């Protein structure tokens, strides 16, 4: 028997001897549009916003929450309501996170079925977005410690300096270096040295505020960008970190490794650019190392004159 396709009252029907396909054209168009939108961006938040906007046309819900522990990402879209349904999203054994929908009224079986059908359109674009986020993270994060790296510092410091100058708010920098780190590697091995770097990273993270940004600059050197913080505040934090390291037990492979750090501190002044602020802080760190290590040194007017004279000689 011949197959027939025909349109009737906004629906496409497929007739054969054994099958009937009944599709709503408007629904099909919305599905095609959604698929196109979801593949038009690799930004995680944008992909989810496109999806939720389309989902609200078919399902009555008021908010959604997305969480991905691997990416340390949590996104909340509107205020949560009383009733909820949650889905752990996976594709080919890869976890894509968990998404939760909430509504003022209990979800019906039909609503849940619609959500599950819609989620089928989300998983592939979501996976692409997650892979993109991981690639970005790998480019801007240090593989050993998980901290932001030097490339990320260059961008962040320039941004924070611009904000500080524009809004006339304080900004300070700490540059920290492990004392005699080469000796630690030589005596205990490079694997132990790596663990010292990892543990030190966690120590510093536990001392700084949520708005402070920690970077591994390279080797055994770390940088902390302190937003809305003057020199005195930076000095207090620097000393708190130094004493925390002194009192921390760096027990690696059943051996207690003595770890000490030197720190340089400086604040933005006279519209310093990012390079000038870093140079000032690094100069203070050099003085801390030269003066015997295991101490905090702040950038002084004398150091400023020495830098100026050195620049003139060049």
Homologous superfamily of domain range 34-140: GAF domain (3.30.450.40)
CA distances from 260 to 177, 239, 255, 294 (A): 9, 12, 16, 6
**pLDDT of 297-313, one tens digit each?**
999 988 887 777 765 55
User: Could you give the CA distance from residue 287 to residue 296 in angstroms, rounded to a whole number?
Assistant: 9
List residues bridging with 177 in a β-sheet.
221, 262
**pLDDT of 248-298, one tens digit each?**
999 999 999 999 999 999 999 988 999 999 999 999 999 999 999 999 999
**Backbone dihedral region of 123: left (phi > 0), alpha (psi from -120 to 50 degrees) or beta?**
alpha
Confidence of residue 35 (pLDDT cuts 50, 70, 90): confident
We find that the CATH architecture of domain 150-313 is 2-Layer Sandwich (3.30)
User: Could you give the CA distance from residue 163 to residue 248 in angstroms, rounded to a whole number?
Assistant: 35
**pLDDT of 208-236, one tens digit each?**
999 999 999 999 999 999 999 999 999 99
Q: Is the pLDDT of residue 28 over 90?
A: no
Question: Which residues of the chain does CATH 3.30.450.40 include?
Answer: 34-140
User: Could you give the CA distance from residue 238 to residue 235 in angstroms, rounded to a whole number?
Assistant: 5
More confident residue, 20 or 173: 173
Active site residues: 220
Global pTM reads: 0.66
Question: Which residues of the chain does CATH 3.30.70.270 include?
Answer: 150-313
Q: Is the pLDDT of residue 176 over 50?
A: yes
| Side-chain half-sphere CA neighbours of 269 within 13 A | 12
């Amino acid at each position: 028997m011949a197959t027939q396709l025909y349109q009737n009252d906004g629906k496409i029907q497929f007739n054969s001897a054994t099958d009937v396909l009944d599709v709503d054209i408007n629904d099909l168009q919305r599905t095609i549009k959604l698929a196109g939108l979801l593949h038009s961006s690799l930004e995680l938040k944008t992909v989810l916003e496109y999806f939720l906007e389309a989902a609200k046309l078919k399902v009555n819900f008021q908010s959604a929450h997305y969480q991905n522990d691997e990416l340390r990402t949590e996104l909340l879209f509107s205020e949560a309501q009383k009733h909820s349904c949650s889905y752990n999203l996976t594709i080919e054994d890869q976890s894509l996170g968990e998404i939760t929908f909430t509504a003022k009224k209990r979800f019906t079986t039909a609503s849940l079925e619609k959500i599950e059908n819609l989620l089928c359109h989300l998983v592939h674009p979501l996976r692409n977005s997650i892979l993109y986020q991981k690639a970005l993270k790998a480019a801007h994060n240090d593989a050993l410690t998980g901290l932001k790296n030097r490339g990320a510092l260059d961008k962040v410091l320039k941004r924070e300096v611009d904000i500080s100058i524009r809004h006339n708010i304080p900004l300070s920098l700490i540059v920290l270096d492990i004392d005699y780190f080469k000796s630690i590697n030589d005596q205990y091995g490079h694997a132990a040295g790596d663990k010292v770097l990892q543990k030190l990273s966690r120590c510093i993270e536990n001392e700084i505020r949520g708005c402070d940004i920690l970077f591994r600059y390279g080797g055994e050197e770390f940088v902390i960008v302190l937003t809305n913080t003057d020199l005195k505040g930076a000095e207090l934090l620097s000393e708190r970190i130094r004493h925390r390291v002194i009192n921390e037990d760096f027990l690696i492979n059943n051996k207690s490794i003595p770890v000490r750090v030197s720190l340089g501190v400086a604040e933005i002044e006279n519209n310093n650019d990012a390079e000038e602020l870093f140079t000032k802080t690094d100069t203070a760190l050099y003085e801390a190392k030269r003066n015997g290590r295991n101490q905090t040194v702040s950038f002084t007017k004398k150091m400023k004159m020495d830098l100026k004279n050195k620049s003139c000689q060049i």
